[in-house]
Structure formats: C-alpha cells, structure tokens
Structure 1
Amino acid sequence: MEATRAIALVSDWIRSRGLDYPTEGLEADRFEAGWSVYAPVEVDESDPMAFLEMPVGRSVFLVGDSGRIEEVSSSVPPLQAQAAFAATELGVQGSNGDTSAADFMAEFERQFHEAAGEDAPVASFTVVDAPPEGPNLAEGPDDDAAIAEEASRLIEPIVQQLAQLGPDGWEEFDAEFAFTVSSQIAQLQFSSQDRTGLVPVPQSVAALVSRQREVAAQMPAGPWWRLILNVTKQGETTVNYDYGDEPFPEDQLVAPEHYRDDLEAYPRSRIPVWLAGYVAGPAAQSRAPRQAAEAAEAASAAVVTADLPPLPELRARWAVLSAIYAGVESGWGPRVFPGHLWYESDRRSGSTLFVLPGERAVLSGGKWDSELLEAAYNGGRPLPDLYTGAPAWVNDSALNTRIRNGLLSFCYWWADGQWHRGATDTSGELDAALPAVRTPDDTVSAMVALTGPGTEAQCAALLAAAVEHSATTAAVAAIFTNVPGADVAAAVNQLSLAGVLAG
C-alpha cells in the first residue's frame, strides 16, 4: 500500500464518522505493519515557549497493509502503539505455507485495481447529496412481495462485483455496509484457508448498494441500517438486514446527524431505543451543574421512597459481591472504584453508585429494554421525570454515563437518611440494572454461586461484618475455601475501596 492510499483511507474514515479532525494536509510515515497518518502540527521554532501550545493527546491513525484503521493517541509512545498494532495485524492477516501475508495482500491490491479500473475505491465515505429518487414500487400492501423480490434481485449484481475483487483462490468473503442517506461505510474481507485480508470497496459497488437500500426502504420494515453478506466460493450467499435491534459495531456507527438525515428521509414508526437515545444525545437527559443549581432553586418536592435498602446496607452488599468477583478473577460482576461503585450486566443494563461526602449518594443507571424509554422514544410520551426535587449535587459529575446517549431510566439520591427520586416511578427499572443487592438473601445467594456450596455461613458473616464496617482479611479468605488460588488481596482491596474494612 502506498502512502497516498493510506491517507485517502484515513480521510474517508474521518469524514464518515464526522470527526473534528482535518482531512487536508495529512502526512504518512511508514512503519513495519503499515502507515502512521496524522495532521502535522506547525510550531514556530523561533519561539522558545511555542511548545506550550502544542496539542497533547492528538489522534494518529495507524493503517495496516490489510486496510485496517486504528485511531490512537499521540500521548502513547509511537513505538508502543505501532508494536501493538503490528501484533494485531499479524492476527488479522495470518500466514500459510510459502506465501507470506504481505504477498497475499499484494495480490489483493493488484486484483482489486484490475477489477476496479479507474473507479476510485472507498473504504468509508460521506455522501453529501440526497439519494436519487427511484420508482415507487409500493402501490399498496399487495406489492410487498414484489418489492422484497426486487430487493433480493438487486443483491446479485452486488455479490458478483464484490467477488471479482478477491484474489485467486479465495474461499469466502464477508461484506458489511452501514448506510444512511448521507453517509456510507463499506467493509469487505476475503478469506483463504487461514488467511484473511481487507479489500477497499469501489464506489460503483457502493452505488449498487445504495440503490438496493432505496428499494428495500419500501418494504414494511423500512430501509436497513446495515446490510451483511456472506458469500462462499460455491456461490452460497447469506443476506442479513440489520434494523438496529442490537447496537452497531463501533467502527460502523456514524455521527448522530447522519441518522437524523435518514429518519427525515425515511420516517419510521419505531426506532430502536438505543439508537433513538444516541440520536437524542446528551441534551435529552444531561444535567449540568449550572442547570442542576437552577432547578434546585425551584424547590420542587422530591419523592421519598423505600425502593432501595438504606445506603449503608446497599453499599456493603455491593462491596462484598465486588470482592468475590475480584477474588475469583472474573471479568464480570460489580466493582468498586474510588468514590463510586459500578455494575454492568451481560444484558446491557447497568448502574453506578456515587458516594459523596456528608452521607450523600447518587444511584443511577438504565435498564436495556426499558418500557419507560420505549414509551418516550416511540410512544409519544415524555422522557421519565428523574430529577424533580433533586439537589444541585445531583448532576452530570455523579450520574451514570448513559446520560450521554439518552438511556438513563432511573436516578435516586440519598440525603438525610432517605432515598429520593423524581416524579416518575422507576422501581421497575432496578432489578435488571443492579447487582443482587435488593435483600441480604439475594446477596448471599449470589456470593455462594461463586464460592461454592458449604460457604453460606462464611458469606453471611462477611456481609454482616461489611455492614458494620468491620470486615477482615481472615473473613474474606474464609469464603474462598472452595476456590484454590483465589486472589484474596484483590477481594480485600474492593472492601477497602468501599470503606467497609475494620479499622
């Protein structure tokens, strides 16, 4: 791959994601596994203080010979970032027999250019013009089958042209297209035995995909957000339309304005809640300190609630569960960090508990399939009233990060020895988004599930001690009798961070 090609790929990558980064004047430096592409910083060398104005942590884009792009920070030592990138590239490209990965990719490049001719390739790009208007195939409900058949027929020329881009001997390829009316991302990967390689997608193919999406948009489900193809050398083609039931891969998620453009062009009766929140952005639920202070002056009454156990018990239960997950070295489960407790379930629900000075705390988070958010984003109802009566210290600095994407479905604050909430009843959101902390029995059962049978008494004793802030290292070690090699120190550290150790 030449430097100009690497720069072109990065420019398209930046534009497709709406990044605040220049696309003109980029430079590329070669390293072992590809190119380092960046915007040079001009510094007045005659000014001894000019270094103070140099940006820190500026993005650098590493482009592999496979076509893979990774954004890294300039604050990471270049050799370290490039070494990590090169190691990943080896895994992506692989090697086999007497043909090197570099030779394999060179063959990709050669055959791609032969197939594409003068047609400029694109890995990802932004379309600034509105899509061309095609014939309206939908005359009524009886035409749904005809539209689906036409959409299916338009897949064939896409597959045929993609197949021509592969090297001799390819066995399978996967193509993923993430399109809106104003942005396009295309990714194509060929496989041959244990080798894989990414190939740029020509604009001629992207035009075919756009046309197919315009036709698919007339089906009852509307236009797909992602088109996913898997094709084998034997001609077997698997087609999947992704309508956003699950969040898109990070490298196929574009800026919110592109989804807004698409929703304006193709109104939908329902939008996936996660995508609706992403489009709404921080403005939907953010509570900046100034905004919180102004709202607090209104002196609206909060709702005092018994939805949750008292803060000392809640914190102790959360802490002992975190200790056990850390002790068995699980990548799942809750954790304690300085100043806050954290939990994310394996079903995309989660919460944070920020513990503040003066016996105050803020518990907030979101349930993945929240009925409250569904009603707001797709049912015409207002978003849940989470903040009425909240004091000024209930603000963005102590709220779960779901506020950034409009997915916060509950917020409670502890003050004066009681839990409070806003006007909306959010008790139904809690079970999915909290670890097993609602009752002592729930917590002990969850502990024993990890420590094994016969440890019920030890788990209950540790929980009781944690509530009284008198847990000890010996009590922690006692719960791991069935877990050889448990990391007792890591477990104790979780209790220490939560402030429930003796002394």
Structure 2
Amino acid sequence: MAAVTGDGASFSDAFSGAFDEAFPGHGTHSGPVLIPEPAADPAVIDLADRQTLRLAECLIAEAPSDCRRITAVFALTLRSEASRVRHSTDRASTNAAPSPGALRLARELRRTTARLPRGPWWRMTLDLRIDGGIEVDFDHGDEPFPDEHLFAPEDYRADLEAFDWPAEKLPTWLSAFVSHGGRQMRSPRKAAVPADTRGARSAQGVPENELSGLTEIWARWAVLSAAFVAAGSERGPRMQPSHARFQSSTGGGSTLWMLAGGRAVLSGGVRDAPGLADAYRGDAPHPELFAGAPAWVADPLLDERGKVGLMSFCYWWESGRWLRGESPKMEELATAMPGVWTSGTVAGIVSELARAVARDTETAALRLVTAAEGGFAERGMLAEVFGNSEGADLDGAYHQLLMAGVVHGTDLPQLPRHQAIALVRRYMHAHDLDSPDYRAADLVAQRVDCGWQVYAPVPAGEIRIGRGLFFVADDEVMEITDTQSSYPHLYAEEFARRYRERWGL
C-alpha cells in the first residue's frame, strides 16, 4: 500500500469539514488516502483520491451522530454486488446498507482504479476512524472471497471482458473458478470411456518410501482424527465410514475414500500448487491427473476441489500399491495431508495434543498408533494418552476409531482373489522367483479359511513334489511353504489360527 494524497491541502480541508459536520466536537486529523502502488498514470491516482474522498464524505453524512468509526465493504462486479456499512459507537456496532449514492460512487471508483496495473478489484474496504484519515483496501482476490462475496463465474468473466483483463493474471484460485471449464471433473460415464491408446499416458507407481501402504495411512489418519477430537479441536482430520477428510490451515486439503476390493482414492489440493498456477497462467499444459486411472476413479470419490479446478493431485490404490497420473510427488503435497507419513510422526502429533489435555505420553501415543495399524486399538489406549478427565472427549475420539474400523475385534473384509495373486506376483519378481518351471503369470488362488492359497498349478498329467505354496491372509500378511515340508490342509488351519490371534477373534 502507498500513501497518496493528490492535492493534500484540499483533501484535508474537505474531509475535515465533512468529518466535523458528522462528528461535531471531536475535531479531526486527516490522514492520506491509501491506494495500492504502483500507478501507471499519476492522473489516475489523483482522480481515485478525489473519488475516495467523495465516497468517504457520503458515508460520513449517512452515519449516526455518535458514530466513531465507519467500516464499509463493497463487493462488486458489473453484474452483481453485495455491500454493507458498519457504524461503531462507544457502546455498540450496527450494520446498514449503503445508500444508492454511495454505491454509485463505489462503482465510479472501481472503474477508475481498474486502470491501475493490478486491474479491476472485486472487493473494497474503507475504514474511517475518529482520529482522521481513510484507509482503503482493494481486494483483487489474493485470498479466496467469503461465500457472501463470491459471485457466479460468468459475472467475473463479463468483468474480464469489459475491462480487457486476461484471466491468466488472476490469482490461481480465482482463475480456476472463472475458467476451469470442468476439466478436473470425471463423471462415471466419462471415466468409463477407454483412453485413446495412441499417445495416452499410463499410470505411474508410487515408491513405498514416498507413501506408506493403504492400511497404515488409513489407521494413522484415524488416530489423528481421534486425537483432535479428544483434545476438543474443531479443526484437524475427521473420519466417516469408508471416508477420511482433512482441511489444513494453509488452504490445502485432501480426502481418502475406501472401496470394496481393497481399493481407494486419495485426492486433494495444495494452495497455489505450482503446476496449477503455471497451467492457469498459460505457461504449461494442465496436468493429466487421471492418466491411466481405472474407471472407478470418478467424481463421487474425488475431492471437492475438482469441481472448481483446484485439485492438484489424485492417487489411487489398486492391487496392493499406490498409482498416480501426472500428479506431483508426495513431498510436494505435505500441506494437503495430515501427518500420516510414519508411525512416529503420528505419535508425535498425538503426544503434542495430549500435553494440552493431560501429560507427557509419547510411549502411550505410539502404542495407540501401532494398535490402530494392526486393527486392535482400544478405548483404554486413548485414556492412557489423554487421561480420564472431563477435559478429553474420549467418547468422540473412540467413535472416530470405530468408524475407521481400527478397533479391537474388528474383522477385515475378505481380500479379493486378484489382490492376493498380485501380492504374490510382486514378491516373486522382487525375489527373482519367476522361472519357466514356476511362472508368476500362471498363478491361481484357492480360497481357504481367512485368506487364499496361491500357487502355480502343475501342468496336466504331471506330478511334482516340493511345489511352492503362498498363503495370503485377508489382512495381506503372506506366508510361504511348500508341498514337501507341509501338508497344505494342516498348514491352512495353522495359518487361519495365526490370523485370528492377530485380530483377537
């Protein structure tokens, strides 16, 4: 902001007269009008200075006699407007609608200041104080507008055309709001259309050291949600059945949807993501977030930011691993995610929240996280972290864990056949076990109690001893044996017993 006075003496005299008339007996000390810099033409600033004075005089004349401060907000486009004036006395504050004359003066000022280098503004705040002076703030959308001052996209497009102002010069969020054109939306019908194989990009795998597995991410998200609820915080992550959400204090956020068959979708946005900013400025193509995505990655499972063109990443979990299209690496998305990176990260956050309620409980916090990751968290573990005082909402916290399904005695859904085979196939490739005699491509799965028996069958008419057998439990724990050292049916019984012991069933 720069202090611009134009003709300082005439401004002071005119404002003093208007101020003294509206606030008799208080006297005045007029300060300068504050107008953003730089200006392309001093004459524009001088005209804006005088128009601001006339608007101030109008607002002062309309104020109650005992008013000591006037705050006026004008949200304007050429098609729509929402404005209010707040009068403050020594005893109370009241809101009023600006007069038609004040609105006319605000529109004139907007047309003038649209000739400044930053272009048209969409909100203006005037602050007139008893100690004199006028402070003016022109809001070009550096921060998202509140709902009551956000108009339809076509209203802003009409302004850009009328003022010959390109959308590429707008802040990223406003440029997306005005011109996203639904490019980040993916209806089930659109998702079901096969991509053109010629030139179509494929999905990329996400390294395990970049993002933990789905089971761990889900459990850690649930523990953080429970901890914020226990601490009485209105902010922080939250859980619903099959659905986790997070909104950060920096404007980013994400959602995680769990589906049947061991699948999931993780999507969201980072405030002013570089890739989106470049795309909306026209400096780079828009990233293909859904490149290689399966048909079930569609709007009902995507973060709400996609509806306004501000979704900056989309990951999906399929066949036991994370995949992504042209989304950034997870290290660039930290502000859009809760701190689910490691068990220790989560335990540290939980411990900090607990200190505000109870005591130093890092060990108990890590025990809670570990139990949730195994699916056997208990209400008593929350009490160990946060205590049993009325200051901690343990019931609400436990409900978060319950909705996530990470509490003691929760039975996992049956692992899909294809996912069990995929887990074994990856293990064989990673350990160089794929051979002409035992091909990973030939694997089949047979259902056993609490999981699957996975193996490569013997060709018809042949008998072979010592064939490898893989047992994959419904919680994705894999065990390896062979037909020579174990009887398959007896091993399957012990395999199921170990599963039930893990889950306390």
TM-score (structure 2 length as normaliser): 0.68
1:312 is aligned to 215
Matched, 1:248 2:145: yes
* CA distance in 1 between partners of 2:220 and 2:40 (Å): 58
Q: 1:489 to 1:297 in 2, by over 3 A?
A: farther
> Pick from 368, 372, 377: which aligns with 1:471?
377
Question: Which runs of structure 2 are paired with 1:388-407 in the superposition (5 Å)?
Answer: 388-407=291-310
Unmatched runs of 5 consecutive residues or more in structure 2? 1-21, 23-37, 410-505
User: Secondary structure of the equivalent of 2:41?
Assistant: helix
- CA displacement at 1:308 relative to structure 2: 1.5
Matched, 1:485 2:382: no
1:18 is aligned to none
* CA distance in 2 between partners of 1:486 and 1:192 (Å): 41
Q: 1:285 to 1:183 in 2, by over 3 A?
A: same
* CA distance in 1 between partners of 2:276 and 2:49 (Å): 34
User: Secondary structure of the equivalent of 2:338?
Assistant: coil
| Residues 231-289 of structure 1 deviation map (CA, whole Å, 9 limit, x = unaligned) | 13454321111111111121111111111111122314621111112113561311111
**Percentage of matched positions with identical amino acids:** 39
2:406 is aligned to 500
Name which one, 1 or 2, has greater alpha-carbon Rg. 2
- CA displacement at 1:407 relative to structure 2: 0.6
Q: 1:165 to 1:500 in 2, by over 3 A?
A: same
Q: 1:169 to 1:362 in 2, by over 3 A?
A: same
* CA distance in 1 between partners of 2:45 and 2:136 (Å): 13
* CA distance in 1 between partners of 2:91 and 2:153 (Å): 37
Q: 1:148 to 1:483 in 2, by over 3 A?
A: farther
* 2:383 counterpart letter in structure 1: A
1:416 is aligned to 319
Aligned residues: 364
- CA displacement at 1:460 relative to structure 2: 1.1
Question: Which runs of structure 2 are paired with 1:75-154 in the superposition (5 Å)?
Answer: 143-154=40-51
User: Secondary structure of the equivalent of 1:412?
Assistant: strand
* 1:225 counterpart letter in structure 2: W
1:203 is aligned to 100
> Pick from 46, 60, 68: which aligns with 1:171?
68
Matched, 1:461 2:367: yes
> Pick from 346, 362, 365: which aligns with 2:249?
346
Contact map agreement 1:188 1:201 (CA 8 A) in 2: yes
Contact map agreement 2:39 2:116 (CA 8 A) in 1: no
Question: Which runs of structure 2 are paired with 1:444-459 in the superposition (5 Å)?
Answer: 444-452=347-355, 454-459=360-365
| Residues 143-183 of structure 1 deviation map (CA, whole Å, 9 limit, x = unaligned) | 53332232122100011112121222222211111122332
* CA distance in 2 between partners of 1:250 and 1:449 (Å): 34
User: Secondary structure of the equivalent of 1:312?
Assistant: helix
Matched, 1:302 2:208: no
- CA displacement at 1:227 relative to structure 2: 1.2
* CA distance in 2 between partners of 1:158 and 1:292 (Å): 53
1:264 is aligned to 161
Higher mean Cα deviation, 324-333 or 377-386? Answer: 377-386
Matched, 1:368 2:302: no
Higher mean Cα deviation, 469-478 or 451-460? Answer: 451-460
What's the C-alpha RMSD, in Å, of the aligned pairs?
A: 2.2
| Residues 271-328 of structure 1 deviation map (CA, whole Å, 9 limit, x = unaligned) | 1111112113561311111011114686862111123210001011111111111111
Contact map agreement 1:296 1:390 (CA 8 A) in 2: no
2:440 is aligned to none
* CA distance in 1 between partners of 2:85 and 2:155 (Å): 22
- CA displacement at 1:426 relative to structure 2: 4.1
- CA displacement at 1:420 relative to structure 2: 0.6
| Residues 78-127 of structure 1 deviation map (CA, whole Å, 9 limit, x = unaligned) | xxxxxxxxxxxxxxxxxxxxxxxxxxxxxxxxxxxxx9xxxxxxxxxxxx
User: Secondary structure of the equivalent of 1:374?
Assistant: helix
Q: 1:204 to 1:312 in 2, by over 3 A?
A: same
TM-score (structure 1 length as normaliser): 0.69
* CA distance in 2 between partners of 1:417 and 1:225 (Å): 48
2:492 is aligned to none
* 1:206 counterpart letter in structure 2: L
Matched, 1:215 2:215: no
* CA distance in 1 between partners of 2:189 and 2:203 (Å): 19
User: Secondary structure of the equivalent of 1:336?
Assistant: strand
- CA displacement at 1:429 relative to structure 2: 3.6
* 1:275 counterpart letter in structure 2: L
Matched, 1:386 2:292: no
- CA displacement at 1:205 relative to structure 2: 2.4
Contact map agreement 1:293 1:392 (CA 8 A) in 2: yes
2:434 is aligned to none
1:19 is aligned to none
| Residues 184-216 of structure 1 deviation map (CA, whole Å, 9 limit, x = unaligned) | 322122222233333232333222222211221
User: Secondary structure of the equivalent of 1:228?
Assistant: strand
- CA displacement at 1:373 relative to structure 2: 1.1
* CA distance in 1 between partners of 2:85 and 2:145 (Å): 17
Higher mean Cα deviation, 371-380 or 296-305? Answer: 296-305
* CA distance in 2 between partners of 1:435 and 1:319 (Å): 10
Matched, 1:238 2:151: no
* CA distance in 2 between partners of 1:475 and 1:200 (Å): 55
Matched, 1:331 2:231: no
2:425 is aligned to none
* CA distance in 1 between partners of 2:250 and 2:378 (Å): 33
Contact map agreement 1:282 1:404 (CA 8 A) in 2: no
User: Secondary structure of the equivalent of 1:241?
Assistant: strand
